[in-house]
Every structure is written in C-alpha cells, then in structure tokens.
Structure 1
Amino acid sequence: MVQQCQSQVEIKTLQTTSPPFRHAVRLPALNSERLKTAKAIVEKTVKLHKVFSIQGPYPVIRASLRARGWLEKRMCHPGLHMSSRPVKEARLNDAGDSDGEDDDVNQEQDPAGLYNLMSRMVRNEMVYFYWTNKRDAINTSILQKEQMTNHFAKAGSFTTKVGLCVNLRSLHWFDSTDPDTFFPRCYRLGARDEKHAFIEDYRRTACTSLLKYIVETAHNVQEEKKNEHMQKSSEPVMVSKMIGTALKVCWDFLESLEHADIDASSETTPSLAKEEWGEFINSYYLLVHAGAKIEISNHLVRRCKSMLQRLADVSPQLDTDGIHNIWIIKPGAKSRGRGIKCAKRLDQILSLVDSDSALIKESKWVVQKYLERPFLVEGTKFDVRQWFLVTDWNPLTVWFYKKCYLRFSTQPYSLDTLDNSVHLCNNSIQKHLRPSHQRHPSIPEDNMWSADQFITFLSGRGYKTQWENVVVPGMKKSIIHALQSAQDLVDSRKNTFELYGADFMLGGDFHPWLIEINASPTMAPSTPITARLCAAVQEDTLRVVLDRRANKSADTGDFELIYHQAGVDIPQYVGVNLFIEGFRLNGTCLLPPLRPFKRSVPKYHGTKKEIASEKVKSLPKVVKSANTPVKNISNRILPPPVPQPSVPIPLETFTLQLPKTAHISVHLPVDACSHSVSLWRRGL
C-alpha cells in the first residue's frame, strides 16, 4: 500500500516538474512492479554510463542504442551542453555542409509508455552519447572526456564547398598527389586574386577547347568544303588566326609550367591584350557554341593534335573538360543543390556572382569546372554517394563503407541545355521532377541504383573489373587526400566520430572525380535502396564506435579500415634554458662608432680575388700611442683613451627571467670603469 502511494506520488511529481513538451504525452497507468522495473533499469543504466540523446530523425540509431541497453534523455529544449555560438558564426563556418532533409524528431511508438517514463527519470543525468544532425547543436568545448558525440568541430574545412576548394591546394605538404587528378579545378570568385585566376583559366580552356574542336570535327569540315553554299572569303583566315592564337597561349602555358618564361625576354608579350581576348572569345562562341562553318587545312589539324598530346601530359582534366567550356557555379552557403547553376559564357558567370554582394564579401561563391564527358548509363548522367567514417584525427583513422548507391537525373544527358534536371543528380531536386519518356526504361523511376546493380551493368558490357580496380581505389585515395589536407584544421577531440557522405562522378575512363563532401548525410528512406542501405550504415557505425570500443575484434559490418596514420606525440612545453658566456678583450683599442641604423651598408664592387684578399688582411693599427689622439672612420677626433690596468677582470653570472619558464644565463665582465651595457629582452 505504501509502495503504491509512493509510486503515485512519484509519477505525479515527474509529470508536474518535467519540462513542458510541445505535444503532451499521456502516460498509461503503471503498477508498482512496472515502476520498480523501470527504476532498476535506470539505476543500472546510469551506473554503466549508458544515457544518450538524439536530435533529428534517426529511428535506427535510437532503436540500436536501446537494443544495447542505452536510455534516451530527450532533447526537446536547449540543454546544458547546447552550443552558445552566435548564429552568424555557425552559419559562416558550417553552413552548406549537410544534405539532411528533415530536422524534426520522430514521434516513436511506445505503447507501454516505459521509455517515456525512463526518459523523464534520467532527465537530470549526464549524457554520454550525443547524436545530432547539426554540428553546432552541441558545444564540444565543454563536454567531459568520457562524453561521445558524432561531430568534429571545425570540420567545415572540407565539408563546405569553399573549404574543400581552398584546403586541397595545400595537399602538397602532405602528399605528392596533384589535386587536379581527382578534384575538378575550383575558384572562389569572391576573392579578387582567385577571380583573376579563374578568368585566365577560362580563357586558356577556351583555347584548348578550340584545338579539340578542330581535331574532332576535322573530318566533317573536310566534307563540308564541297558545299556550294559555303562562303570562301575570309573565314579560313580567321580560323587560322584563332588557331595560331590558341597555340601560342598553350605554348606559353607549357613554358610557365617548366619555368622557361623566367628567362624570356622582357620585350615579348606572353598574353593577349584585353581587347584581343574579347575578340578571340567571341569568335570561339561563334565557332563552338553556334556551329559556324569553317575551312581548315590538314597542316593546322596536325599542329592541333601535336599540341593536345603535349597538354595531355600536364593537364589531367583535359579530356573531361570537353569543348564547350562549361562551369558550374555554387553558392557556398547552401546545400542540397540549391542555387547551383551551369553556364558556359564568361560574362554570364561573372554576372551571376556580382549580383549578390553579401556572398562576394564572404567569398562564398565557388565556380568549378564542369565534367562535360562523364560516364553515362544508357545516356543518363549519375553520381555516386559514398559513405566514410572518421573516428580519430590524431592518428587519422578512416573507415570506408563497402556499399554505396547511384543517383540518376530524370532527363537524358545533353549539353544543348544547361537545365538542372539534366546536370544535377541530387535526390532533393530530382524527386520533384517527372522522369522523361526519352530516358532508357532500365533506369528506375525512383532514380537510384545500388552499387551491385551498377556492377551487373558493367559486367554485361565487358567492364567487370573496372569497379574494383579503378573506381573503388580512386574513391579511397580521394577521401584520404581530402582529409589529409584538413587534418591540421579540424578539432581532434577524442571520443568523437563523424559519418560523412562523399559525392563522386565517373569520367569516361571510370576515373572517379570528387565533387563534394557532406556532413550529416541524409538518412531518409526515400527509396527502397536508401531505406536498406541507410539503415545498414547507421547500424554499422555504432558497431565501429561502440562495439569495437569494448572489443577490438568486434564485427564492424561493411566498414573497412583504409587508413590509420601513425600518431604524432605533442611534447609538453617545459621551457628552454639559454645562457651566454664570454670575457672582455684585453687591450685599450676603442672600436669606431657604429653607423646609424638607418643607413645601408654600401655594396663592394671588387672582383672575387680582391674580396678574398680583403678577408685575409689584418685589421689596421689605429692606435700609435696611449696619449695620441685617434681619427676614426668618420674623420672625427677622439680623445686619448684612459690607460687601463692590465689586471684580470672578474666574471659575473646573472639570469634573465623570460615568459613560460624560459630563462637566459649570461656571464659578463664586471668593470667599474667600463662602458655601460644595455640589454634588451625580446618577447618569446
């Protein structure tokens, strides 16, 4: 009887003192035995440090943790460890790095009301496992050592479009691989120097595109020479001039790579004037984009082929560049394909960026070379979503998921239109569009394939080994290189992990090209493919970060450890002991006064022999007698020196106290008649 009264009082207390919920939860009547069971479970769970909190729609994570004996502390309102960073700072650092599509917490079924009751009972307990869909939801700087979270701080250095664009340029400090071999050329148009570099790249790409256009259409051009309606006035001359200009620009580019331009004469002009570039670009538009009729000789075709062969050795993206010079413009502060546009005219690209002054100020606009010649499945473009897991940054530990899926566009691939329905494969965009009737019927209406389906497709066309021998190794290397370039920028907090989603496109030779990396990749079961794979990757993530933590031989599912860097020990700073020892020179010779520090030392223009002879000459005797005035270098008369007794001079040792426990021990002579010694202490 007493237990029942206590149970009723405790339930009433929980209902009245717990924080208000948006939707009131009615607890069913619980008998004393069920309440006793709940209290026992809570006590055991708290003792084992198995309290977790989840923000976002992750029913698989919630169910998997409960199956492992964890209890949930609801995150219905900002708690103790919620981030206090300003919204603007969070937006600038981490915006656009997530492709999650739903931030609402799922209302799960709990018929017995037991989990809701136990969740209330642990409302004042410490959370030992956080899983959120936003990096700034938890302030990791105030977490205790034993608390785990699924986001690293400062990971925007590679999960944002701007961060990945900038930091891959420092890859040469960590590896000899050229980023241009796996990441399309990218520039920040908000930065003035990078904007200028992009304009140069666009112009040079127009030159190489022209050469490829001439070579690829040479046969058709030769046939069209017989067309009686074709004008044969000055058109061949204009084409010859354009090809000559393109060849010169490409030649200057090759010489700059070999640093041969350093020895070039200052009278030569390595680049065209602005007006000349404008004339060339307009002619390029007319020829390549508009398909103007041309005449060309076999000699010029051979010169174009020769130059393209030389460029292929130094330009890894020459083949995927195509001939239309298409670039993709991405606003760095957005995700899920929002605001992305494709353009092929230089003035259109620059006008898109100049229209938003806020993004220009924050350098958020990114322009990237579009892969014009990707590998297609039945004439339709696709990209690959590949998961990987980072469990530590020092030593860098990377896990690669063996399963992935393909995302198709709803329209057949074509460069005649630059509409997003053709060129963007994001499911958040394509799911709102109706598949084209012209698309091949083997591509499903939900626009997704598993990797196994793609392998079957390749095997049927004689490319059975390309996936395992080319695609997978290339994706692994790209991921590792992207993480290496950002390793010094990410907060390497222990007991932290993060699951990422990388997007790849395949070139015509099956070479994978890294497009972007997303934090908090969507786990929505939007199709049968994602419903199965997303649930599996979440379960396997817990196997790696929880099960393997307790047992190193535990099953890790489809996760494969692909990189484990040797740890770097950071020694503790204990200070540096520095000392100087010396003695006073005997003699009464006075050194001439030093030159004023504002005057520079005149250069000596003698020969090498004269310089060598000067080095071995002894110092001039400037003192004739102790009582004779002496002239110094400045022709000033110095008073005769005071005779000094020839006695040994004692040494005195003293210590200079410096910051951070560092000190300098100095031994200097003590002389009552000597000149004063001034010491300056520099900040360490």
Structure 2
Amino acid sequence: MVQQFQSQVEIKTLQTTSPSSRYSVHLPALNPERLKTAKAIVDKTVKLHKVFSVQGPYPAIRASLRARGWVEKRMCRSGHPVYKRHVKEACCNDAGDIKVEYDDKNHDQDPNGLYELMSRLLRNEMVYFYWTNRRDAINTNILQKEQMINHFAKAGSFTTKVGLCMNLRSLHWFDSADPDTFFPRCYRLGARDEKHAFIEDYRRTACTSFLKYIVEKAQNVEEEGKNEHIQEACEPVIVSKLISRALKVCQDFLESLEHADIDASLETTSSLVKEEWGEFIDNYYLFVHDRAQMEISNSLVTCCKAMLQRLAEVSPQLETDGIHNIWIIKPGAKSRGRGIKCAKRLDQILRLVDRDPALIKESKWVVQKYLERPFLVEGTKFDVRQWFLVTDWNPLTVWFYKKCYLRFSTQPYSLDILDNSVHLCNNSIQKHLRPSHQRHPVIPEDNMWSDDQFMTFLSSRGQKEQWENVVVPGMKKAVIHALQTAQDLVDSRKNTFELYGADFMLGPDLHPWLIEINASPTMAPSTPVTARLCAAVQEDMLRVVLDRKADRSADTGDFELIYQQATVDVPQYVGVKLFIEGLRLKDTCLLPPLRPLNRSASKYRGTKKEMAQEKVKPLPKVVKSAISPIKNISEKVPTQPSRHVPIETFTLHLPKTGHRSIHLPLDPHSHSVLLWRRGL
C-alpha cells in the first residue's frame, strides 16, 4: 500500500507544473499495474544496455530500435539552452530532475503514455545509442566508449562545399585518380590566388567554348540565320583573328601541361594582354551569347577541330563544359540550395561575390563549373541522391546503398534561362514551384523517380547496362576518393557511424559527376518514393551498426561494403618506466645574476681565501678558435678542481610506465663543471 501511494504521488507530481514553468513533462494518470510493467521493462533495458535517444522526427529509427527491445530516453528541445546541459548530465549519469519539454510530441502514437513514463524512469540512466540531426548536439568528448552516436566530429571537411573543393585537390597523395574526372573544377573566390586562377580558367574556357561554337556552327550551316537574335554579320577578318587568339591560348595551355613553358620568359608565357582579353571576351559574348552572324572558312574549322581533339585528351570536362561558359556560385556552408545562382558573364560573377564582404573574408564563396550538357530525361534535368554509410575512419570503412532516387526540376532544361527552377533540383526548392505544362508527361508531378523507374527508362533507350557498368561504379569511386582525402581530418571515434547523402549529375555519356556531400540527409517522406526508400535505408543502417556488431553474418539489407582499408599494425606500447639519475652538488656557488650587455660581470662573492685559491685564469687562445677540437681545451685546463666538492646522488622519477632507467651522471670534474666554477 505504501509503495502504491508513493507511485500515485509521483505521478501526480509529474503532472503538476507551475504556470511559469515552460519546460515540463505531462504524463496521464497510470494505474499501478502499468507503472509496474514500465519499471520491469526499464530494468531489463538498463541491464541489456538498450537505452536510446533520438532528436528529430525519425519514426523509422524509433520503430526499428523498439522492435529490437530498446527503450527511448527522450531528448529535450534542441533549440533550448538547457538541451546541452541536459545531455551532458545524462552522459555523466547524473541527470537530476530537470523539467524539460520533449521534442516531436506528435511523431509517436502513445495513447497510454507508456513511452513517456519509461522515459521518465530512465532520467538517471546512461544512453547507449544517440541519433541526432545536428553534429554539435552532443559533445562526443564526454561520451563513454560503449555509447554510440550517429555523427563524427570534424566531418565538415568534406560535407561543406568549401571543404570538398579544397580536399579533393590533395587526392594525389592518397590515390592516383584525377579529381577532374568526377568533380567539376571549383575555386574559392574569397582567396586571392584562387580568384586569379578562376579568372584564368574562365578566359581559357571561353576560348575552348568559342572553338566548339565554330565547329557546331559549321556542322549546322543550314540552321544559320534562323534565330531571332542574330545581329549584323561581322567581317571574316575579325572572326579569323578571334580564332587565332583562341588557338594560341589553347596551344599555350597544352605546352604548360607538358612543362614546355619552363624556359620561356614572362612576356612569352602570357597568351594575351589585358586589353586583348577584354576585346576577346566581348566578341565571345557577341557571337556565343548574343548569336551574332559570322562567316567561317573551312580551313579555320579544320584547325578548330584539330585543337579540340588534342584538348579532349587532357581535359576530362571538355564535353560537359558546353559553349556558354556557365558557372554556378554557391555560399560555402549553406544547404538545400540556398543562395545558389548561375551566371555566365565574368563581371556578373565577380560582382555577385563582392556584395557580401563577410563571405569574402572567410573564403565562403565557391564558384564551380556548371555541367552545361547533362543527361536529360525527356528534356528535363535531374540529379541523383545516393546514400552511403561510414562506420569507421581508422581503418576507413564505407558502405554503399544499392538504392537511390532521382530529383527533377519543374521546368524544361534550357541554357537561355538561368533560373533556379530550371537548374537546381533540390526538393526544398522545387516543391514550392508549379510544374511546367511544357514538361514531358512522363515526369511525375512530385518530381521524383526511384532508381528502378530510371532503369526502366534506360531500358527503353537500350542503355540499361550502363547503369551497372558506368553509373554505379563511377559513384562508388567518387565517394571513396572524397572520403580518402578527409580521412586524416575527421575525428575518428569507435562506436560512431554516420549516414551521408551524395548528390550526382550524369553527363551525356551517363558518367556520374559528384556535386556535393550532405551530412544529415533529409529522411522526410515528402513523396511516395522517399517514404519507401528513406524508411528502408534507416532500417538497413541499423542492421549494419547494431545487428552486424552482434553477429558478423547478420543481414545488412541493401548496404554493400565497398571499401575497407587494411588494418594498420600499431606497435604495442609495452610501458617503459622513465626516470633520470644524476649527481647533485651540495656546496656550490650561485650563478651570477643576469646583467645588461653594457655592464661588467659581477664579482665572485666568496671568502678571500677561496678567491685566492680559485683565481681566474685567462682563457687559452685555442678556445677562441672555432675549428680547434674540444680535446685541446682539456690540455689547458687542470684536470682536478682546486678544492674538494662533496657530491650527492639524486633520482628524478617520471611517470611509472615500465622498468627502464636512464642514468645521467653529473661529474663535478667534467670540463663543463670546471668552466662554470671558474666563472666562464
């Protein structure tokens, strides 16, 4: 009866909150049997170390864990400052009675309040599995070894646009692959040297784009003059001059790759001067962007074709570059397509970046070459969201998910319109837009396809084998290379894992191009495709990190282990006890005090008898010679001191880590002691 009364009092206390208390837990009235059941479940859970906490609306994670016998200890609201204190105290197993308002009240159906009651009973227990939607939600330094968490610390080195841009440049230290074969070239406009490199790249790309434009115009002579924006025809002399300059720039670029320009002077290495570049870029805009009419000789077209063939051998991105020289400008640390813009004029790009001095100062702006010729589905652009899982960084262990989905834009693809509705496929942007009536009816209104639907489309075009032979292997290699470059930067912690979402675009030959890697990819069931696939990837992820941990032969679902480094043998630390043994001088004179350089040395403060016995002798000349051997000094200095100096042995003990010792005898008869005692 007493226990029953105490339980009822406890429940009523939990229900009672002061009007000013904003963060509280509300539990319905429970009968003693339900409370007894909850306590029994909690006791069993604590013994089995099956207590978890989830931050955010992840019903699939909660359902999968509960099916495995886990019980949730609810997290408080992540936006409130109490949150970190609550989590820290919970990790230290001393949570106390903090009144908090829990996250996501509507994500669960808990009519009996059993989950809330068990969570309250677990308030002072350790959490063994954390799932959060923010990397900084929990301080991993205070976690114990057996606690699991779904985020690695310091993983922003490849999940931000700036980090990915910088890290892939060091890929040659980890692998022989070339990042230009799977990652569009990228620059930080906030860094002065990279801004200069981007301007050079833009100019050189304008030259190659102009050559491609000439070749395409020659191949479509019958279509010339039909465009509404055609201006007056330019003189053939001007066109030939522009082609010659473009050919010279491309030739100089090829020679620089072969290091043929090492012995050239500064005047000969610069292809065009500033005024010539300004004139060339203006004429490039006139012909390519404004579509001015031109007359071209067959000999010039032949030269352009020959140069493009040579460039194709050394420029993997030549085919996807197109002719409009479009670049995409991204704020370095934002997600969901925020702040991203496309531009094709150099002055527009530089002016757009210069608007925000803060981002320039922190080198946050990233400009990346836009893939102007992607693979399209019935004239509509799309990208691929591909999941992968990292369960360890040392050794690096990567799991690739066999399923993925496509995200379409709402407008037909066009390079004449640089609007985000055409060129950005983020669902966070496209879901607010109305699909165009000009879009092909095969594209669904929710703008998403599963990989199975895409393979059906490829089969209708006779390209089904390219999915398994080109797309999937290319995505795997790109993911592995991106992780290799960040391996030394991420804080590797055992019992930690993280699920990432990589975004790819496909080239005209279905070759995949890595655009970015996202931490905490969305798991919201926004469409029927994501509702099915997001739930499946979360369930399979728990199979890898939990079931396989207990049983190596456990089923991992659609996750495939694609990379695991060989374990590095670390020499075993045997534990060496280090200490120093030496001799201590009992009766010694004090060192002379520090003095300015312009003052004489202090006199020896001893008795007259000692001063007479230890009269300072002049230094021998041999000491002043830098090339004389040290043994000559001993011939000039007496081998015995003028008086007996008693000595005492002492031992300096360092931390006890072994049984080895270092003996450093300090002989008062040594030359160093003699010179010091004589005031030298």
Instruction: Return the TM-score normalized by structure 2.
Output: 0.81
Range that drifts further, 170-179 or 62-71: 62-71
Q: In structure 1, what is the equivalent of residue 174 of structure 2? A: 174
Match of 1:34 in 2: 34
Counterpart for residue 310 of structure 2 = 310
| Correspondence for 2:612 | none
The structural deviation recorded for 1:267 is 5.4
Q: Is the 8 A contact 2:217 2:224 kept in 1?
A: no
Cross-structure match for 1:286: 286
Bigger Cα displacement from structure 2, 68-77 vs 184-193: 68-77
Deviation of the 1:298 alpha carbon:
1.1
Work out whether residues 327 and 369 of structure 1, in 8 Å CA contact, stay in contact via their aligned partners in 2.
yes
> Who is 2:336 aligned against?
336
Secondary structure at the residue paired with 1:261?
coil
Structure 1 counterpart of 2:254: 254
Note the alpha carbon deviations across 1:153-194, whole angstroms, 9 max, x for none: 111000001110011111111000000000000001011111
Residues 331-378 of structure 1 show CA distances to partners (whole Å, capped at 9, x for unaligned) of: 113210011000000000000100000111111100000000000000
Residues 658/210 of structure 1: CA separation in 2 closer, same or farther (3 Å cut): farther
State the partner residue of 2:326: 326
1:223–1:359: structure 2 CA closer, same or farther, 3 Å change rule? closer
Partner of 1:419: 419
Aligned length: 598
Q: Deviations over 1:363-416 (max 9, x none)?
A: 110000000000000000000000000000001010000000000001110111
* Corresponding residue of 1:451: 451
Name the CA distance, whole Å, in 1 between partners of 2:508 and 2:16. 65
5+ residue gaps in structure 1? 85-102, 578-628, 635-640, 679-684
- Give the direction of change, closer, same or farther, for the CA distance of 1:643–1:537 in structure 2 (3 Å limit): closer
Compared with structure 1, are the counterparts of its residues 318 and 575 closer, same or farther at alpha carbon in structure 2 (3 Å cutoff)?
farther
State the 1:269 CA deviation: 4.3
Matched, 1:486 2:486: yes
Q: CA deviation at 1:546?
A: 0.8
Give the aligned partner of residue 509 of structure 1: 509
Distance 1:80 1:177 in 2: 42
Find the residue that maps to 2:518 and give its secondary structure.
Answer: strand
Equivalent position of 2:369 in the other structure: 369
Match of 2:531 in 1: 531
Show the counterpart of 1:405. Answer: 405
Report the CA distance between 1:575 and its aligned residue.
8.8
1:553 corresponds to: 553
Report the residue type matching 1:496 in the other structure: T
> Do the aligned partners of residues 82 and 498 (structure 1) sit closer, same or farther apart at CA in structure 2, a change above 3 Å counting?
farther
8 Å Cα contact 1:165-1:187 kept in structure 2: yes
The alpha carbon displacement at 1:37 in A equals 1.2
Contact 1:210 1:246 in 2 (8 A): yes
Q: Which amino acid aligns with 1:355?
A: R
The letter of the residue matching 1:345 is R
Cα displacement string for residues 7-52 of structure 1 (whole angstroms, at most 9, x for unaligned residues): 313323444599966576341x432222211111111111111111
CA distance in 2, matches of 1:290, 1:184: 26
Match of 2:499 in 1: 499
CA distance in structure 2 between the partners assigned to 1:60 and 1:553 by the alignment: 23
Distance 1:450 1:107, change over 3 A: closer
**Corresponding position of 1:263:** 263
> What is the rounded CA distance, in whole Å, between the counterparts of 2:539 and 2:676 in structure 1?
72
Instruction: Provide closer, same or farther for how the CA distance between residues 436 and 573 of structure 1 changes in structure 2, counting only shifts above 3 A.
Output: farther
Label 1:549 to 1:176 Cα distance change in 2 as closer, same or farther (>3 A): same
Q: Using a 3 Å threshold, how does the CA distance of structure 1 residues 68 and 200 change in structure 2: closer, same or farther?
A: same
Contact preservation (8 Å) 1:156, 1:163: yes
Query: Which sits farther off after the overlay, 261-270 or 125-134?
Result: 261-270
Unaligned runs of 5+ in 2: 89-102, 579-620, 627-631, 641-648
2:663 and 2:169 mapped to 1: Cα distance? 41
Report the equivalent of 2:609. Answer: none
The 3 A distance-change label for structure 1 pair 353 and 266 is closer
For the 8 Å contact 1:215–1:301, the answer to whether it is kept is yes
Distance in structure 1 (CA, Å) of the matches to 2:637 and 2:108: 97
Shift, 1:218, TM fit: 1.1
For residues 80 and 411 of structure 1, do their structure 2 counterparts lie closer, same or farther at Cα, with a shift above 3 Å needed? Answer: closer
Structure 1 CA distance, aligned partners of 2:368 and 2:404? 25
Following the alignment from structure 1 to structure 2, what is the Cα–Cα distance between the partners of residues 504 and 407? 10
- Equivalent residue letter for 1:150: N
Q: Indicate if the aligned counterparts of 1:14 and 1:120 stay in contact, CA closer than 8 A.
A: no
User: 1:540 maps to which residue?
Assistant: 540
CA contact (8 A) 1:655 1:664 kept: no
User: Are residues 507 and 575 of structure 1, via their aligned partners in 2, closer, same or farther at CA, if it must alter by over 3 Å?
Assistant: farther
CA contact (8 A) 2:15 2:27 kept: no
Query: Contact 1:52 / 1:129 at 8 angstroms: preserved in 2?
Result: yes
Contact 2:396 2:563 in 1 (8 A): yes
**Secondary structure at the residue paired with 2:320?**
coil
Q: Secondary structure at the match of 1:172?
A: helix
Q: Which residue of 2 aligns with 1:589?
A: none
**Alignment-mate amino acid for residue 299 of structure 2:** H
Aligned counterparts of 1:139 and 1:403: Cα–Cα separation in 2 = 32
- Provide the residue aligned with 1:122 in structure 2: 122
- In the alignment, the residues of structure 2 paired with residue 317 and residue 524 of structure 1 have an alpha-carbon distance, to the nearest angstrom, of 34
Output the CA distance in 1 between the equivalents of 2:634 and 2:505: 87
Name the counterpart of 1:218.
Answer: 218
Distance 1:672 1:219, change over 3 A: closer
Q: Which secondary structure state, in structure 2, belongs to the residue aligned with residue 330 of structure 1? A: strand
CA 1:291–1:50: 2 relative to 1, 3 Å: same
Would the alpha carbon gap of residues 314 and 21 (structure 1) be closer, same or farther in structure 2, given more than 3 Å must change?
Answer: same
In structure 2, the residue matched to 1:25 is 26
Identity %: 78
CA distance in 1, matches of 2:431, 2:233: 52
**Structure 1 residues 666 and 568, CA, compared in 2 at 3 Å: closer, same or farther?**
farther
Report the 3-state secondary structure (helix = DSSP H, G, I; strand = E; otherwise coil) of the residue aligned with 2:284: helix
Q: Provide closer, same or farther for how the CA distance between residues 215 and 666 of structure 1 changes in structure 2, counting only shifts above 3 A.
A: farther
Residues 373/105 of structure 1: CA separation in 2 closer, same or farther (3 Å cut): farther
Where in structure 2 are the equivalents of 1:572-651 lying within 5 Å? none
Per-residue deviation, residues 489-538 of structure 1 (Å, max 9, x unmatched): 00101110000000000000000000000000001101000000001111
Contact 1:502 1:517 in 2 (8 A): yes
Amino acid at match of 2:60: V
SS at 2:262 equivalent: helix
The alpha-carbon distance between structure 1 residues 672 and 129, as it changes in their structure 2 partners (threshold 3 A), is closer
Aligned ranges 1:347-358 → 2 under 5 Å = 347-358=347-358
The separation in 2 between residues aligned to 1:575 and 1:241, in whole angstroms, is 76
